[in-house]
Amino acid sequence: MGLAARHLEANGIPTVIMGCAKDIVEHCGVPRFMWSDFPLGNSAGRPFDIESQAQTLALALRLLETAPAARTTVSSPLRWTADAAWKHRFLDVGKLSPEEIAERRKEFDVVKAVAKAKREGA
C-alpha cells in the first residue's frame, strides 16, 4: 500500500494511508499516515464502533488537509485495551513447541504453493 501511495503522490494525487503497522509503513516512507495502535485488521477503527471509525476517518481527513510535509504520521488517541497484553500475542514464536513449528512450516508450504498456482493462473 505504501508503494501505491507513493506512486499516486508522485503523480500529483495527495494520499493518506490508514493503518496499524507503524514500523512497516514508516519504513516504506509515505506522504501521510494515520496510525491506530490496534491489532492488524482494524485500520479504519474498532469493529462495531461507529464513533471510533468516524473519529479515525476524521483524523485521516484532517491529516490530508494539514500535513506540512511528507512522512507525517498522526497517531489515533484510541486504545485497543487499557493494557498492552495483546501486543505480546501477535506471532508469538516463544510459545510454540517444535511439533507446532514443524506443523506451521508444513502449512505455510501449502499456502505458498496455493498462492503460486493462483498467481500463475491469474
Site for another protein in 69-108 (CB under 8 A): 69-71, 80, 83-84, 86-93, 96, 101, 104-105, 107-108
Whether the CB-CB separation of 25 and 18 falls below 8 Å is answered with no
| 41 three-state secondary structure | coil
Instruction: Give the whole-angstrom CA distance, residue 110 versus residue 6.
Output: 33
Q: Which is nearer to another protein, 77 or 89 (CB)?
A: 89
- CB 92, min distance to another protein, A: 7
Which grid coordinates belong to 2?
A: 505504501
- CB 100, min distance to another protein, A: 10
Residue 13 binds to another protein (criterion: CB under 8 A): yes
- Residue 3 pairs in a beta bridge with none
Residue 45 binds to another protein (criterion: CB under 8 A): yes
Which grid coordinates belong to 21?
A: 503497522
